[in-house]
Amino acid sequence: MNITAKKDDIFSVATLLYARLRKVNSRVIDVMYLMQDRSYAHHVVTLALETKDPELASYVERLRALLDLQDDRELINGEDQQIRLSKENNANKKVFDEGHVSFSLF
């Protein structure tokens, strides 16, 4: 599977998750940020699983497979190994980030 197709699949599953979470739990998530930040993806997975909704659980499994997210039981202090390595690498670099702004009119 090429990178673009994988991103499209991740986006599709994340938007399905967004719509279902909004309907079931009145929660709104940031789909684009979910695609970029693994710790936020873990947070969204936790929110979805807390609802005990079978449809959300199926979306979570698809998202975990696409993003290669580990099962929550395998997390170390809320972070997996890749997140920690990424933070260590970023700590040594100067990064100029304008930030991420998201809002909803609904």
Residue pLDDT, tens place only, 3-16 = 777 889 999 999 99
Which residue range forms the structural domain that includes residue 75? 3-91
For Cα atoms 15, 19, 21, give the angle at the middle one, nearest 5 degrees: 110
Q: What pLDDT was estimated at residue 87? A: 58
Q: Are 14 and 36 in contact (CB under 8 A)?
A: no
pTM over 0.75: no
Residue tagged 């933070």 (tokens):
87
pLDDT surpasses 60 at 42: yes
Cα separation of the two ends of the chain: 35
Tell me if 56 is assigned to some domain. Answer: yes
Tell me if 78 is assigned to some domain. Answer: yes
Tell me if 31 is assigned to some domain. Answer: yes
Tell me if 64 is assigned to some domain. Answer: yes
Pairwise pLDDT comparison (90 vs 16), residue with the higher score? 16
Residue tagged 């991103």 (tokens):
7
Tell me if 106 is assigned to some domain. Answer: no
Total number of domains in the chain: 1
d(CA 100, CA 106): 19
Tell me if 101 is assigned to some domain. Answer: no
